[in-house]
Chain A
Amino acid sequence: MSANLTAFAYLVSAVLFILALRGLSSPETSRRGNIMGMIGMLIAVVVTVIRPDVVSYEWIIAGLVIGGGIGTATALRIQMTAMPQLVAAFHSLVGLAAVLVAAAAYYNPEAYGIVDAGGDLLVASRIEMGIGVVIGAITFTGSIVAFTKLQGLVSGNPVTFPGQHLVNLAIGVAIVALIVWFCFDLDPRIFWAMTVLSLVIGVLIIIPIGGADMPVVVSMLNSYSGWAAAGIGFTLENTALIITGALVGSSGAILSYIMCKAMNRSFFSVILGGFGGEDTSAARGARSDRPVKAGSAEDAAFIMKNAGKVIIVPGYGMAVAQAQHTLREMCDELKAQGVEIRHAIHPVAGRMPGHMNVLLAEANVPYDEVFELEEINSEFQTADVAFVIGANDVTNPAARDDPQSPIFGMPILDVDKAKTVLFVKRSLSPGYAGIDNELFYKDNTMMLFGDAKKMVEDIVKAL
């Protein structure tokens, strides 16, 4: 195959990848889109393997078999509630792969045709390689930290220390200086120094970000993995990689933007981290001992049975309790009794964008009963019951009414406008933002204290 034909085949792959993303505009077209993505990947791999300079296949086959086996087995076994961790783990692999490919290109630039007349790595390629390896390394360690937080291996609390931003800044400046130096001097110590510093900064920029900001972090790392791929694409002069990197990079950036907007926080403040720290302690101190109305599963069952319309508001707590299947049973039971059921999903419910939608889909909830914030918010006024399960801050009316609140301005689901609010929760403890939820003390709120799954099971029994 000539070089031109190979390049054309890469272009075809890139177009198929665009169509794969395009397919996700609706669930009906999404499966076909995913198949197109697979075909695109197959084309890219095949045309690379049949290149004349690829002559030894043992390692390639071994790598594909080992990696393919691990990847497939993991993908088939993983629980849907663990999807954020899985995606974070996958991001780290893309990051590490980018670093390794850059290192391979560094040690054997002839294979990639990126040497000048003297046999040295081209200067332009050095910059691209530097940028690719830096972003790749940050993606790698940053994703590992995100993974350990999501998996619960370390506490989700922000880790901050004095002078943190200064240290980060110093390392950042050092990395830029090393990339510049690398343009003049090909010493491997420089290459590895910038790699190691990037690995360190990857850890440092993610540790101060709290557990509930994870939707932003996961999206951000998704974006980084794309830019890393694009950077390597420039080094390798490969259009499939450049286009794909740009697609993934902008995809992650858009998701980060959507997540930040849904929390009414600037991207910058998320990156600087430490949310839930000192700035919210005042609100926490103001927690009162006002009375709340608590109810039993039987009460909840009675109220919902007699309701015309119930809106379910799921949150991360539902995922933790694995309550989605029982919840669906409850909804089926209510539907059988003539109650209209809808689900309302806040953009930051869960630990990654769209997390709740996947869990509900897993529990066989039809997607046309699941609505986004803007679509459903006006309907709470006409709903008899808002059933909040595992969500908290995204329902706090303070975000709408109290300018003093740290979450003021964040778009919320107006559950308090429903006739009755049933709030499933373990205790009265505040959400991740560390602020008390006004909703608990409203006259029309009934708290259902207990484990989400257990509570829903009891309601199903009572129905």
Chain B
Amino acid sequence: MVVDPFIFRLAIFILAIFVGYYVVWSVTPALHTPLMSVTNAISSVIIVGALIAAGPEGADLAKIFGFVAITLAAINIFGGFVVTQRMLSMYKKKKK
């Protein structure tokens, strides 16, 4: 009997939902806006798919799609992480 690799990926997916559930509930409400901007940045890891599409030689349709997707994902990655860092650096404790 061979288990389809899809099942393993599904297992990873479902366990990751649980991890996400517990991790996100522990995020302090004061940081919910940075949470959204950082999740934005990390979901742009979809760039790996775009890189594979833009990687081969030549210039076919897939490559053009890949290039545009790289650009869009890069906007998100840089924009998301930079704006998150900017926000987080503003949270300060009371000066004693």
Q: Are B28 and A26 in touch, CB under 8 angstroms? A: yes
Q: Which of A44-52, A292-300, A403-411, A444-452 contacts B (4 or more CB under 8 A)?
A: A44-52
A: interface residue count bin: 35 or more
> Interface code A197-240, partner B: CB below 8 Å = 1, 0 otherwise?
00000000000000000000011001001100110111111111
Partner of B52, one of A54, A222, A240, A254: A54
CB-based nearest B residue for A237: B9
Partner of A51, one of B30, B55, B58, B86: B55
Q: If A48-B48, A75-B82 touch, does A372 touch B29 (CB 8 Å cutoff)?
A: yes
Q: Are B30 and A37 in touch, CB under 8 angstroms? A: no
CB-based nearest B residue for A139: B43
Q: If A49-B51, A53-B56 touch, does A30 touch B34 (CB 8 Å cutoff)?
A: yes
Q: Are A237 and B36 in touch, CB under 8 angstroms? A: no
Report the separation of the CA atoms of residues A361 and B28 in the bound assembly, to the nearest whole angstrom. Answer: 14
A29 to chain B, nearest CB (A): 10
CB under 8 Å from chain B, chain A span 38-65: 38, 40-41, 44-45, 48-49, 51, 53-56, 59-60, 62-64
Overall SS of chain B's interface? helix
A142 within 8 Å of B (CB atoms): no
Residues of B near A68 (CB, < 8 A) are 74-75, 77-78
Residues of B near A93 (CB, < 8 A) are 44, 72-73, 75-76
CB under 8 Å from chain A, chain B span 34-69: 34-58, 60-63, 65-69
Q: Are B93 and A90 in touch, CB under 8 angstroms? A: no
A27 within 8 Å of B (CB atoms): yes
Partner of A367, one of B24, B50, B80, B91: B91
Report the separation of the CA atoms of residues A361 and B58 in the bound assembly, to the nearest whole angstrom. Answer: 50
Residues of B near A252 (CB, < 8 A) are 36, 39
Residues of A near B88 (CB, < 8 A) are 27, 30-31, 34
A326 within 8 Å of B (CB atoms): no
Q: If A37-B81, A66-B71 touch, does A353 touch B20 (CB 8 Å cutoff)?
A: no
> Interface code A14-41, partner B: CB below 8 Å = 1, 0 otherwise?
1001101110111100110110011011
Q: Are A104 and B36 in touch, CB under 8 angstroms? A: no
A203 to chain B, nearest CB (A): 19
Q: Are A76 and B43 in touch, CB under 8 angstroms? A: no
Residues of B near A67 (CB, < 8 A) are 70-78
Overall SS of chain A's interface? helix
Residues of B near A345 (CB, < 8 A) are 29-30
Q: If A64-B70, A75-B79, A101-B69 touch, does A366 touch B94 (CB 8 Å cutoff)?
A: yes
Residues of B near A250 (CB, < 8 A) are 17, 20-21, 24
Q: Are A24 and B79 in touch, CB under 8 angstroms? A: no
Report the separation of the CA atoms of residues A236 and B9 in the bound assembly, to the nearest whole angstrom. Answer: 11
CB-based nearest A residue for B39: A248
B62 to chain A, nearest CB (A): 3
Q: Are A242 and B13 in touch, CB under 8 angstroms? A: yes
21 contacts across the A-B interface (CB closer than 8 A): A13-B45, A24-B35, A41-B44, A44-B48, A45-B48, A54-B55, A55-B56, A67-B76, A74-B75, A83-B83, A90-B40, A97-B44, A97-B46, A97-B73, A100-B69, A108-B62, A230-B13, A242-B13, A353-B33, A354-B35, A368-B94
Q: Which residues of B contact A (CB under 8 A)?
A: 5-6, 9, 12-14, 16-17, 19-21, 23-58, 60-63, 65-95
4 other A-B residue contacts (CB within 8 Å) besides A21-B27, A239-B12, A361-B90: A67-B70, A87-B37, A108-B61, A247-B16
